[in-house]
Amino acid sequence: MEAIKCATVNAADLLGKSDVLGTLKPGYYADIVAVEKNPLQNISALKEIAFVMKEGTIYKQDGTANPKAFGLK
């Protein structure tokens, strides 16, 4: 959990952006990744990202890239 916090909450603090990054809250940037396995049990789970959302746009869902998010058909 500490490694994940270092990459999210602590990184936002170091960048001086903890007012808009590092936490899922209203008014913050909605940058989210999701994995199917528990990274707290095996950190390697973070190598298999199933879902990616950046600023409210879904870039990857069910392990597949969303072409529309990249301006493709």
Identify the H or E element spanning 59.
strand 57-61
Q: State the burial class of residue 11 (Cβ atoms within 10 Å of its Cβ: 0-12, 13-18, 19+).
A: middle
pLDDT tens per residue across span 51-70: 999 888 899 999 899 988 88
What pLDDT is attached to residue 59? 93
Q: State the burial class of residue 22 (Cβ atoms within 10 Å of its Cβ: 0-12, 13-18, 19+).
A: buried
Please give the share of the chain, as a percent, with pLDDT higher than 90: 52
Quick check: 29 pLDDT over 90? Answer: no
What pLDDT is attached to residue 56? 83
Quick check: 73 pLDDT over 80? Answer: no
* Contact criterion met (CB below 8 Å) for 40 and 1: yes
